[in-house]
Amino acid sequence: MVYGHQKGELMNSEKLAFDCAKLLVEKHAEDVKVFDIKELTDIADYFVIASANSQIHLKALVDELEDFLKKNSIRTYHVEGLRALKWVLVDTYTVIIHLFLPEVREYYDLESYWGDAEIYVMEG
């Protein structure tokens, strides 16, 4: 599914997921993973899941993602969790980015729910 563009080029959901994951790695997010869920559900094609080391870091990661998306003319459906800053969800329709504090990520354990997905571990 194509929904955005970058420098005149169409961007697909796979490229967007991996570009967001790379950005998160560059900004020192921890345990960044990309889940290919397009064969498992129709809610999105990809999840990107990452951890921040503090609420300040979490907010900075969200700000970086929002800047990246805006710069590339990619609309977000919605962003949730900015008040509590424990689990922030950024939904771009076909890619959903989950940013967690480590203890919240461990508690909700999304990785086990989507264990049938193809998972890519991103490294810096």
Asked if 37 and 94 count as a contact pair (C-beta separation under 8 A), the reply is: no
CATH (residue range 2-121): 3.30.460.10
State the DSSP string of the chain: -EEEEETTEEEEHHHHHHHHHHHHHHTT-EEEEEEE-TTT-SS-SEEEEEE-SSHHHHHHHHHHHHHHHHHTT---SEEE-TTT-SEEEEE-SSEEEEEE-HHHHHHH-HHHHTTTSEEEE---
Mean pLDDT for the chain overall:
91
Band the pLDDT of 10: cuts 50, 70, 90: very low
User: Where along the chain do its domains lie?
Assistant: 2-121
* Stated length of the chain: 124
Residue-wise pLDDT for 45-102, tens only, equals 999 999 999 999 999 999 999 999 999 999 899 999 999 999 999 999 999 999 999 9
Band the pLDDT of 2: cuts 50, 70, 90: very low
CA torsion, ordered 117, 85, 94, 114, to nearest 10 deg: 10
